[in-house]
């Protein structure tokens, strides 16, 4: 029987989250990203204790991709970049929203253009094409406003840094499949894996969930 997720490889591994068999590759690559694994899953426990070489290579590749986008950013911009990535994961976690890299790039480009225009003294809202990207922009603006208030950063300063960060994120989302192709949500899958792994390694006793779209939090590996 073919794996119901990739429809390519044989389904030989029972997935307690999905209640059906999937292939080992999908189990390893979609774990905690596209599949909400229960904490008592034996495959999850084994992978967390002894991740196979393929998973380690993927983790290194994923982190390398995001660190390349981060390279050269000023410290404040770098902190903002990782905060935005955390927001992206929270936004994507909404089961009613199916986000693709194209939506991420379109939304990031539109909001960056809005901030760039404002920096020149012109108030004009650039709107993305898709409804998903429009919602992404609206929610991200709220997230950034809350982040500015919490950090007591002047809004214009944060918006200036956000324009730089969002242009980097746009380029990453548009170009990722030139080097890694996991489908139309490749960049989003990479972001989800890195942020989720970082959140699991962050002490969270008594704290709120590590990934939440509307609460300013920074998860930096």
Q: Are strands 13-15 and 20-22 parallel, antiparallel or unpaired?
A: antiparallel
Q: Is residue 209 part of a domain?
A: no
Q: What is the pLDDT of residue 215?
A: 42
Contact 15, 21 (CB under 8 A): yes
The DSSP line for 3-71 is -TTTSSSB--EEETTTTEEE-HHHHHHHBTTTB---TT-HHHHHHHHS--HHHHHHHHHHHHHHHHHHT
CA-CA distance, 150 to 42, in Å (whole number)?
40
Task: Tell me the pLDDT tens digit for each residue of 149-208.
Answer: 998 989 899 999 999 999 999 999 999 999 888 899 999 999 999 998 887 765 544 444
| Residue 213: inside a domain | no
The pLDDT, as a whole number, for residue 44 is 83
220 in any annotated domain? no
> Same structural domain for residues 84 and 150?
yes
Which residues, in sequence order, are CB contacts of 76 under 8 Å at separation 6+? Answer: 161
Q: Are residues 22 and 64 part of one domain?
A: no
User: In terms of domains, do 100 and 193 share one?
Assistant: yes
Number of structural domains (the chain) is 2
Are 34 and 123 in the same domain?
Answer: no
- Establish if 45 belongs to a structural domain: yes
**Shared domain check, 110 and 40:** no
28 and 100 share a domain? no
Residues 76 and 183 in one domain: yes
- Asked if 88 and 115 touch (Cβ cutoff 8 Å), the reply is no
33 and 99 share a domain? no
Q: Which helix (H) or strand (E) holds 135?
A: helix 131-151
| DSSP code, position 95 | T
Per the domain annotation, does 88 fall within a domain? yes
> To which H or E segment does residue 190 belong?
helix 186-200
pLDDT at 19: 93
Structural domain span for residue 18: 1-50
């Amino acid at each position: 029987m073919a794996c119901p997720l990739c429809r390519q490889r044989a389904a030989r591994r029972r997935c307690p989250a999905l209640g059906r068999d999937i292939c080992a590759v999908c189990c390893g690559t979609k774990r905690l990203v596209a599949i909400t694994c229960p904490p008592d899953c034996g495959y999850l426990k084994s992978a967390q204790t002894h991740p196979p070489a393929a998973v380690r290579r993927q983790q290194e590749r994923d982190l390398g991709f995001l660190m390349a986008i981060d390279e050269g950013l000023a410290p404040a911009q770098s902190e903002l970049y990782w905060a935005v990535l955390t927001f992206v994961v929270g936004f994507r976690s909404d089961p009613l929203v199916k986000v693709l890299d194209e939506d991420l790039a379109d939304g990031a480009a539109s909001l960056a253009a809005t901030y760039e225009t404002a920096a020149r003294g012109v108030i004009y809202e650039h709107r993305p094409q898709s409804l998903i990207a429009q919602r992404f922009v609206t929610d991200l603006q709220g997230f950034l406003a809350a982040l500015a208030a919490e950090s007591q950063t002047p809004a214009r300063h944060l918006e200036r840094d956000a324009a730089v960060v969002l242009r980097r994120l746009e380029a990453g989302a548009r170009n990722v499949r030139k080097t890694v192709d996991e489908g139309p949500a490749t960049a989003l899958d990479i972001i989800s894996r890195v942020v989720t792994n970082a959140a699991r390694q962050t002490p969270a006793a008594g704290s709120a969930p590590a990934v939440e779209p509307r609460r300013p939090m920074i998860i930096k590996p």
